[in-house]
Amino acid sequence: MKAERMQRAADIVWQLWQSGSRIDQLPAAVRPATRAEGYAAQARLQARSPAPLFGWKIAATSKAGQAHIAVDGPLAGRLLRERVFESGDEVPFGANHMRVAEAEFAFRMAVDVAPRDSPYDVPEVLEAVESLHPAIEVPDSRFNDFTAVGAPQLIADNACAHYFVLGAAAPPAWRSLDLAAHAVAGEVVGRARRDGIGANVLGDPRVALTWLVNELSGLGITLREGAVVTTGTCLVPFEIQPLDFVAMDFGVLGRVETRLGAR
């Protein structure tokens, strides 16, 4: 019965996502009551994708991100390949409800990281990383008021995943940098500028990556070789509108940019 409930929850979220529609919350009969049930529903979204999973996102790794969706800790979500773009590509705007863009540190994995009983620490997770990338996330929710539904439903809503823009790999010297102290400058060209820092992401993007590894481990999920993990916004999210040009400058780590499409 639980599997059927979570399948129905996933079906509703998927249909809303494809149509650009929203609801107040999932029907009571299929509404996930725990984080575990939220992840069970989310897993069924992945099965609807026509391509292999691209990677994972972390929502609410900063105080600003947590405040934006009214939760008190991080949430993991899946990055679907058909919703991933390269730097410079145009990203559809469509019926986006959240209307924000975020600057994020993203990591590509060099090897599988399998579930285990003991938690992973930061050094061993970094040994499993192939490359670091600047990235932009354009999230969205399938709920009318995403601040009112709580973590289990937000997890079922794929942790507000929507579109993702991946920049080129940073130079290998990133490993010698203090990512917590690393500054990022963001801009919606002609409208707004804002600064951020790696410490806004659970204190350090490498700590956020390790959180994701351990969250998946607790769920019995292997983080696969080649998967990209984006670690959450390191600056206060930018409000966006159709046709905006968004650029995030990570200094020596590179730059990532995108233009948003017309409504």
Give backbone dihedrals phi and psi of 256, rounded to 5 degrees, phi first. -135, 140
pLDDT tens digits, one per residue of 147-166: 899 999 999 999 999 999 99
pLDDT bucket at 70, cuts 50 / 70 / 90: confident
pLDDT at 64 over 70: no
pLDDT tens digits, one per residue of 27-48: 999 999 999 999 999 999 999 9
Q: Which of 212, 156, 151 is nearest to 39 (CA)?
A: 156
Which of the 8 DSSP states describes residue 237?
P
Cα 96 versus chain centre, distance: 16
pLDDT tens digits, one per residue of 8-24: 999 999 999 999 999 99
What pTM did the predictor assign?
Answer: 0.96
Q: Which of 213, 210, 206 is nearest to 182 (CA)?
A: 206
Report CA torsion sign: 249, 250, 254, 260: negative
- CA-to-CA distance for 201 and 179, rounded, in angstroms? 10
The angle at the Cα of 173, spanning 167 to 176, to the nearest 5 degrees, equals 120
Residue-range domains of the chain with CATH: 52-260 (3.90.850.10)
Structure-token pair, residue 208: 């956020």
pLDDT tens digits, one per residue of 186-203: 999 999 999 999 999 999
